[in-house]
Structure 1
Amino acid sequence: MSTTPPPRILPTGTQPGAGEPTAEEGPFGWLRALGPRGRRAFGGAFGGYALDSYDYFTLPLTMVALAAYFGLDSGQTGLLTTVTLVVSAIGGALAGVLADRVGRVKALLLTVITYAVFTVACGFAPNYETLLVFRALQGLGFGGEWAVGAILVAEYASARHRGRTLGAIQSSWAVGWALAVVVYTLVFSLAGDDLAWRVMFWTGALPALLVVWIRRSVHDAPRAAEARAKDAGRGSFAAIFKPGTAGAPGLLRVTLFASLLSTGVQGGYYTLATWVPTYLKDERDLSVVGTGGYLTFLISGAFIGYLTGGYLTDVLGRKRNIWLFALLSAVCILAYANIPDGANTLLLVLGFPLGFCMSAIFSGFGSYLSELYPTAVRGAGQGFTYNTGRAVGAVFPTTVGFLADSWGVGGALVFGAIGYGIAALALLGLPETRGRELA
């Protein structure tokens, strides 16, 4: 008689492969699915973008002190932001091509070093003109970092989880923003305004620590590296502007509409990011500590918005997520800018949904733009479209600066809502890419 025990019968749905949780299940399944090398790439891109955000916000947070120190009007202070964003388009496009030609990690290192060096240099500026030049050069690195880091991680992520993975990368912007607000509150509480703004810029040296770790620990995704090595046409601007033919669809349409989409979203976002600190301090008469407190609600909403938007872009699709939060962001701007005097508690509370909506719309960008372009020109396509949006969108905060003297900053903020309307229209010319595998 056989002594072999009978096979164990499991209830339906509990057999291996038919219901047992896999490595990609659960709240952090997207992170486990990246693998060890992918997680190191995630860490490098997350840290790079957080510190990119930190270095960017040294300007909006010190804008009032800068204006007093150099005797600037609203238009001149707005120009500091505009020149950063305009030059970032050049930096982003160049970094994208570089990423296609020499690899994602090498390009990432170069962008981080560039924005760190010139942020520190801003702290030594003897006059407005020099500050303007240093801020422009800072834009070269600032423009390239996000596109390169997003592509690096997108090429490790699975199609199933790419939206929430890149949404988590995007959330690092809120982390860097929060760190900048904490340092701003401490520095401006302990030092006079004339010195404090310089100290804020000098703290922009923090990314140097990250550079050492990235250089030792982060590598490009193997399949993407192989594809770039085999494709002689990689990193071509001509390719992303190639019109389609009857037998071969080109990328011109995608590039034009993706640039318009980026322009609308970033025009709305940078209007708020640039002018809300000034609005709170000058028109709402909040102290440095008070401004930091109000920004805490805004940034908390932003962080949760990035994570939520990343999840929704996988569930709803890239286009529906952007449409939804374009509408909600426009509504929140109009409400925030029209809160009556004396209702600062309402201003505090509304900061959370404002930060949530204007950040959730960004969560799908990393995955969406990566999926719109093939590997050989993914850096060039994403770098160009995202940063062209930054450059053209820079018109929005500049316009607010010039209108602020007659309309007030709060009144002029409503101009940012127009940007979200432009973004919604741009989606009509773009395809849905949810579930698309990267070659």
Structure 2
Amino acid sequence: MEKSLTQDTHGQPARRGPFAWYHEISANERRTFWSCKIGYGLDGMDTQMLSFVIPTLIATWGLSTGEAGLIGTCTLLASAAGGWIAGILADRIGRVRTLQLTVLWFAVFTFLCGLARDFDQLLLARTLMGFGFGGEWTAGAVLIGEVIRAQDRGKAVGMVQSGWALGWGLTALLYALLFTWLPAELAWRALFLLGLLPALFVLFVRRLVKESDSFQQVHRRRDERRESWLAFCEIFAPRLLSTTLRASLLTTGALGGYYAITTWLPTFLKTERGLSVLGTGGYLAMVIVGSYVGYVISALLTDALGRRKNFILFAAGSLLIVLGYTQLPIHNGLMLWLGFPLGFFASGIFSGMGAFLTELFPTRLRGSGQGFCYNAGRSVAALFPLLIGHLSQSMPLGIGIGVFSAGAYAVVILAALSLPETRGKDLEHD
């Protein structure tokens, strides 16, 4: 009789460490895990490039901060639309094919950003890049969520999403190298041109990653029934409407708090607190490391504590850290170390999001539901930086950040309490 995967060599129950699940999955599941993780990393790499080159564009092109902000907002709004469209495509043509298309899309348009001759061309290329950036998240989260078994889904999906922090760190490294070797007016273009490299990753996905069994079963039944493309509208039908709206509130709160913090906190600390450490790579490295660790720890906790408790824990931690930044007297040394918990909580809250949204919807609507909920939240949250900027004209910036962050994370907590706990839930295959 074959020995159980959960027994040791003496036939006794084996101790399951936090990463034992990885050694128990099949070769195809591992390929899927790494393809999704690398895809998230490449997504993060290309997406974060703009934030590094904005100061150079302001200096060389005479861009205003308003124009720079417009590029960021248009990218986010396009990513919201792209995420929803990709979700619908994932339910129709498959998770793997949609993953390939979105990675290829954002790689090509990131490359074109490097060839832009003026602000209008850069705005257009970056906005179109946003469609792929938002779509990749949806396709990857649905794919890995369907492949991994229920008891380990939170850990696996969270570990996949931690790839974003690795991509962010890779961009920081490429930025440092290119701006050391090349003049600034060439270095920013070279950084964007390197964004084409993820297109090679599509070849790996095409050869080695298979579609999930769940999707293939449902796809065969759909072909037999000849269901309409408009089937995605069922996420707004009475049976699912409440779930769709509450899940959208959850993502709105998490993303709104994140955008409020990451967009305006550095400006607040630099201009109103006069902290010089923000200009060093050490602070950014601390935030990136904190983000990666936050993703990993949250991935483990979402299976250990449950989805809802984990969201509440990280929402409360994010709120405390932003209040600490805006209300407590902080010197350069302390602020450097606070970069770790800032990245830990603000990024870690997203680690359980993919698994949770996967479990809320049936297979035939999973891409549509997950794509809509996450990206409806993104489109609303994209307005937070703009609203804080307007509010800061009549009151201190720190108060605006605190008010919007507190409101956003309160929404996360309320939405989490209203939604069902899905830890360990078998996926619906109807």
Matched residue SS, 1:432:
coil
Cα displacement string for residues 132-155 of structure 1 (whole angstroms, at most 9, x for unaligned residues): 111110111001111111111111
Q: Are positions 1:20 and 2:13 aligned together?
A: yes
What SS does the corresponding residue of 2:425 show, helix, strand or coil? coil
Q: Distance in 2 between matches of 1:34 and 1:107?
A: 24
2: CA distance between counterparts of 1:125 and 1:400?
30
2:118 is the counterpart of 1:127: yes
Matches within 5 A, 1:96-111: 96-111=87-102
Distance 1:287 1:189 in 2: 19
Matching residue of 1:391? 379
Contact 1:264–1:393 (Cα < 8 Å) also in 2: yes
Alignment CA distance shift 1:316-1:358 (3 Å):
same
| 3-state SS in 2 of match to 1:160 | helix
Q: 2:140 corresponds to which residue? A: 149
Cα distance in 2 for partners of 1:75, 1:416 equals: 22
Give the C-alpha shift of residue 401 in structure 1. 4.8
SS at match of 2:162: helix
- Are the counterparts in 2 of residues 99 and 107 from structure 1 also a CA contact under 8 Å? yes
- TM-superposed deviation, 1:212: 1.2
Mapped to 2, the partners of 1:197 and 1:284 lie a distance apart of 26
The corresponding residue for 1:62 is 53
Partner of 1:223: 214
The percent identity for this pair of structures is 46
Residue number in structure 2 paired with 1:10: none
Q: Distance in 2 between matches of 1:81 and 1:417?
A: 23
Count of equivalent residues: 415
Cα 1:162/1:279, change in 2 over 3 Å: same
Q: Look up the SS of the partner of 1:436 in the other structure.
A: coil
Q: Find the counterpart in structure 2 of residue 3 from structure 1.
A: none
Quick one: which amino acid aligns to residue 368 of structure 2?
A: A
Letter in 2 for 1:240: I
* Structure 2 residue 308 is the aligned partner of structure 1 residue 319: yes
Who wins on radius of gyration, i.e. which is larger?
1
Residues 180, 38 of structure 1: CA spacing in aligned structure 2 closer, same or farther, 3 A cutoff? same
Which amino acid counterpart does residue 335 of structure 1 have in structure 2? G
Please state whether the residue corresponding to 1:435 is helix, strand or coil: coil
Tell me by how many angstroms 1:72 deviates.
3.2
Question: How far apart are residue 14 of structure 1 and its match?
Answer: 8.2
Structure-2 separation of matches of 1:182 and 1:271: 25
SS of 2:173's partner is helix
* Paired residue secondary structure (2:149): coil
Q: Distance in 2 between matches of 1:109 and 1:408?
A: 45
- Corresponding residue for residue 310 of structure 1: 299
Aligned residues of 1:87 and 1:136 also touching (Cα < 8 A): yes
Cα distance between partner residues in 2 of 1:284 and 1:258: 38
- The one-character-per-residue Cα deviations of 1:157-181 (angstroms, maximum 9, x if unpaired) are 1111111111101110110111111
1:63, 1:278 within 8 Å by CA — same for their partners in 2? no
Q: Which deviates more, 258-267 or 217-226?
A: 217-226
> Which residue in the other structure is 2:4 paired with?
none
* Aligned equivalent of 1:204: 195
* d(CA) in 2 for partners of 1:401, 1:122: 27
Q: Distance in 1 between matches of 2:159 and 2:166?
A: 11
- Give the whole-Å Cα distance in 2 for the aligned partners of 1:60 and 1:87: 17
Question: Are the aligned partners of 2:286 and 2:336 in contact in 1 as well (CA < 8 Å)?
Answer: yes
Secondary structure of the corresponding residue to residue 155 of structure 1: helix
3-state secondary structure, aligned to 1:363? coil
- Quick one: which amino acid aligns to residue 17 of structure 2? G
Give the partner amino acid of 1:186.
L
Give the aligned partner of residue 271 of structure 1.
Answer: 260
Match of 1:240 among 222, 235, 239: 235
SS of residue in 1 equivalent to 2:151: coil
* Residue 347 in structure 1 maps to residue 335 in structure 2: yes
Matched with 2:158 is: 167
Contact 2:266–2:278 under 8 Å retained in 1: no
Render the CA deviation track for 1:378-425: whole Å, top value 9, x for unaligned: 000011111111111111233345566777876654344432222222
Match of residue 367, structure 2, among 370, 379, 386: 379
**1:266/1:79 CA distance change after superposition, 3 Å:** same
| TM-score, with length taken from structure 1 | 0.88
Alpha-carbon contact 1:101-1:234 (below 8 Å) kept: no
1:81-114 CA distance string (max 9 Å, x none): 1111111111111111111111111000000011
Which shifted more, 411-420 or 371-380?
Answer: 411-420
Decide whether the 8 Å contact of 2:277 with 2:336 is kept in 1: no
CA–CA separation in structure 2 for the residues paired with 1:339 and 1:77: 30
Q: Give, as a single letter, the amino acid of the residue that structure 2 aligns with 1:304.
A: V
| Distance verdict in 2 for CA 1:401–1:176, change over 3 Å | farther
Q: Cα gap change, 1:202/1:276 in structure 2, threshold over 3 Å: closer, same or farther?
A: farther
Which structure carries more helix by proportion? 2
Amino acid at match of 2:334: L
Q: Distance in 2 between matches of 1:188 and 1:403?
A: 35
CA distance 1:56–1:398, change in 2 (3 Å): farther
Aligned to 1:360: 348
SS of the equivalent of 1:327 reads: helix
Alpha carbons of structure 1 residues 182 and 192: separation in structure 2 relative to 1, 3 Å: same
Instruction: Tell which deviates more after alignment, 202-211 or 345-354.
Output: 202-211
Choose the corresponding residue for 2:288, options 277, 292, 299: 299
